[in-house]
A and B are shown apart, each in its own frame.
Chain A
Amino acid sequence: MNIRLITSFGFSVLRLSTPLIFAALSAAVCQKAGLFNMAAESMMLWGALIGVIVSGATHSALIGFLAAVLAGAVTGVLIWVATVKGKADLMLAQIAINLASSGGTIFLLFALTGEKSNSAVAIKSLALPKIAIPGLKSVPVIGPILSGHNILTYGAIVAAILLSIFIRRTKTGLHIRAVGENPHAAESVGISVPRIYLLAWTLSGILGGIGGAFMSMGYLTSFTKDMVAGRGYIGLSASSMVGGSPIGAMFCALIFGVADAVSNQLQLTNAPADLVLMLPYIVTIVVLVVISVINYNRANRKAKA
């Protein structure tokens, strides 16, 4: 097989995985706090749109990026307000937010620019820089795969590592896990559960917002209608497969990225790409079932012992 083909494939895997990793991390924070995050979809959509709008208005990719992060965080906090302050059902609130966001982003784009599906013509937005790693660049095979990515692709890996350290090694991380294991027990030792939920939703929103910024300021360079296209749900399943471990979620997201890249390649040939696109979802269900059975049996044995 052609070396160039391999390297371009490897490169596209990392590129396609980046938003999935952020979505998976966004779901993982919530899962560790015992929350079910279906709304990464909305966080990413708002991040993608606001990033484009603000970077176009300020002519600064950095300010655009920060605004995208803020937009994601606000989405997360909104869910917290609805579910903790308003005592709305978690699932219903998130489905509502997802509905409102898919229409709301299109509507805001229209209200500002008059465009209905794509921001490319109306907004001269900026992209985040690509980074060539000096030493690595010239290494054969690995170099072209790993070097020259968008800064957020490297950011995704760093974020996974930082999040893992945060959850495993810090006091706040311990509190998040305690609330996730048993909110009543955590409350009885003086941990404020609502405050931990607020933290989890904010962090989750920030990660989702960054994922969204990558979509519109890296992966593409404009906002298009419904551009997140289910990536939030893929992140959710990547996180559920590994019980919310950030590093594990990152690797699961990479597997989804591989499937994405394979199907992209197959679409160029005549093979049925739709069947390939099905594979990662089937794998998710199978892995989820196996892991759930193992966890259930383990819990049962513990209860008997």
Chain B
Amino acid sequence: MNNAKKIETWFDLVRILVAVLVAYAIALVILALISDDPLYVIQQFIVGPFSSFRRFGNILSTMIPIIFTGICMCFVYAINKFNLVGEGAVNLGGCLSACVAIALSNKVPAWLLLIIVLVVGCLAGMAASLIPALADQIFHADVCVVSLMMNYILLYLTNYILKYRIKDPGSSITASYKWAPALKFRNIIPKTSVHAGLIVALICVVLAAVLFYKMSFGFKMRIVGLNPVFAKYIGIPVVSTIILAQVIGGAFAGLGGTVQVLGMFSSYQWTALTGYGFDGLMIAVLARKNPALVPLSAFLIAYIRTGADIVSRTTDIPPEFVSIIQGIIIVLVAAEMFLSGFKRRLIFNSAKKALAEKEGKA
């Protein structure tokens, strides 16, 4: 029995690696086919992200927002609810934080304002996520549809706030007033774009992992996700657990929006959905719903994306080809049948061996 379980755990890891390799191989073939200088492009794509300090920094700074949404989706995915509001929560968190930052700049000390702004981001994300969660648990409406609609509502709401409430008329692009420069996250690695948000992100990873594996709430949540009926019979409040998990997830996504806005910009400028929410789902899938593994899978995605950015800058191939890689990885990881014959053979062989040993002893 134990042996089979061990095989399954290892197998999960191997499967993800194989999925990534297959996706990579397909991407390389495509790149080679359309490029005039395939060797150069492939070299840029694979080695490029590690070829200079600044580029490596780009991987780290690309990781920051998707760590937050990845944690968000770990919570949502753990209870098997497809609440996809992370996308909108990022925008709302960023936008409302920007509003507060602009309104209170130079009125309260910077450290206090920073705390207020981060809290606002969390609350915004919680509120965004609460609506689909309630619609699902109280009114039995499909959480996925409601959350997709919420994303558009939040996008237009934040656009309205940006264009009609906080827009700086002096700016040539659609951007808000600037907040106090003291609020902007400082660079933590010189000569790169890595800002202090990375530290916040890693603290959040630890918090989420503790919540998941060291506290009773996390345990209850995982039981509910595995088997809601069983959870109900052993006395876990299923409805409130499901809602709470989504709200906590939303808080991380909202915070992610705040951190990204404060780290990368000096005024609020988002007029479209960022895509971080869907990235988060992919990261949660790769991390097997385990928040502790989120930085690892975020690093992988950020590495792929940085490579694509380099390729698109040094050649004229559009960076969007990354999303093909991402799509293939998700499908292969999600498909149970992918390599399942291999797994069965492994388990069968180990069982046969164990049986033979037993008989040998007897």
Contact = CB atoms under 8 A, between A and B. Distances in A.
Interface of A: 36, 38, 82, 85-89, 91-93, 95-104, 106-107, 110-111, 114, 116, 230, 233, 236-237, 240, 272, 274-275, 277-278, 281-282, 284-285, 288-289, 291-293, 295-296
Given A99-B323, A100-B323, A86 B337 contact: yes
B48 to A, nearest CB: 19
Given A104-B320, A237-B148, 6 more contacts: A92-B331, A95-B330, A96-B326, A274-B157, A274-B163, A281-B156
A82 B335 CA distance: 7
The DSSP consensus for interface residues of chain A is: helix
A293 B140 CA distance: 7
Contacts of A102: 320, 323
B139 to A, nearest CB: 4
Contacts of B142: 36, 240, 288, 292
16 contacts: A82-B331, A93-B335, A96-B330, A96-B334, A98-B278, A99-B326, A111-B33, A230-B152, A233-B149, A274-B157, A274-B159, A278-B157, A281-B149, A284-B145, A285-B146, A295-B140
Contacts of B34: 110-111
Nearest to A232: B148
Contact of B135 (A272, A275, A285): A285
A178 B14 CA distance: 40
B285 interface: yes
B338 interface: yes
B169 to A, nearest CB: 14
B128 to A, nearest CB: 13
B338 A86 contact: yes
A99 B278 CA distance: 8
Contacts of A87: 335-337
Interface residues of B, number: 47
A293 B323 CA distance: 38
Which of B278, B282, B330 has the most C-beta atoms of chain A within 10 angstroms of its own C-beta?
Answer: B330
Interface string B329-344: 1110011111000000
A116 B321 CA distance: 11
Contacts of A275: 156, 160
Nearest to A89: B334
B328 interface: yes
Contact of B318 (A86, A98, A107): A107
A93 B153 contact: no
B141 interface: yes
A107 B321 contact: yes
B316 to A, nearest CB: 8
B144 interface: yes
Which of B131, B149, B159 has the most C-beta atoms of chain A within 10 angstroms of its own C-beta?
Answer: B149
Interface of B: 30, 33-34, 82, 131, 135, 139-142, 144-146, 148-150, 152-153, 156-157, 159-160, 163-164, 278, 281-282, 285, 316-318, 320-324, 326-331, 334-338
Nearest to B271: A274
A103 B164 contact: no
Which of A38, A88, A99 has the most C-beta atoms of chain B within 10 angstroms of its own C-beta?
Answer: A99
A88 B139 contact: no
Contacts of A85: 337
B320 A277 contact: no
B139 A99 contact: no
B144 A86 contact: no
Given A278-B153, A288-B135, A293-B139, A107 B324 contact: yes
B165 to A, nearest CB: 10
Which of B281, B323, B326, B338 has the most C-beta atoms of chain A within 10 angstroms of its own C-beta?
Answer: B323
B336 A86 contact: yes
The 10 closest A-B pairs by CB, nearest first: A100-B327, A103-B323, A86-B335, A96-B330, A103-B320, A88-B335, A274-B160, A87-B336, A92-B334, A292-B141
Contacts of B141: 285, 288-289, 291-292
A186 B266 CA distance: 59
A260 to B, nearest CB: 12
Contacts of A288: 135, 141-142, 145-146, 149
Nearest to A83: B335
B324 A292 contact: no
Contacts of A91: 82, 144
B283 to A, nearest CB: 12
B153 A282 contact: yes
A68 B144 CA distance: 28
Contacts of B278: 95, 98-99
Contact of A96 (B144, B148, B149, B331): B331
